[in-house]
Amino acid sequence: MTLTNAVTSAASQVGDFLTFATQDESGLLSLLNDILGPLPQPGHPSKLERRAEHVEMLPVIRGWQAQDKAAPATEEQIRQFFTPEELATLSKETGLSETATMSMVQELLPRCVRRRALHEPFACRIQRP
């Protein structure tokens, strides 16, 4: 890594920390849901399932759908599931560094896949009396 890249990476990480960017999941979740397509319908493979099948990750996706608290995705799984262009778009659109984007997608993707399988909105529901 060159000195310029090291300084740029460090500055991005400091910026992510100072702005609490890694605490704001809503923008990234919206982008993830756009990429994953509409919610699945019974008997019809979703865009998510077709994508997973194409990269031989359908068993992984099925595991995430079945587990309430699945472990985070690995970086390898994320790089296999999303194109480099999609990852760059996620980073650019959220304003996060590539490192922060990868970390957040690793945490959010399994949770997002689970909620989509249950047809639940990702945001917590407000209980009203």
Residue 2: what pLDDT?
A: 60
Locate the domains of the chain by residue range. Answer: 3-117
| Nearest residue to 59 via CA among 77, 36, 82, 41 | 77
Work out the pLDDT band at 109, boundaries 50, 70, 90: very high
Residue 77 has pLDDT above 90, yes or no: yes
Structure tokens at 4: 């310029």
- List the CATH code of the domain at 3-117: 1.10.10
Task: Report CA-CA distances (Å) from 47 to 12, 89, 106, 107, 125.
Answer: 33, 19, 19, 21, 26
Q: Which of 7-11, 26-30, 100-104 has the lowest mean pLDDT?
A: 7-11
Residue 57 has pLDDT above 90, yes or no: yes
Query: Would you say the pTM of this structure is higher than 0.85?
Result: no
Q: Who has greater pLDDT, 53 or 21?
A: 53
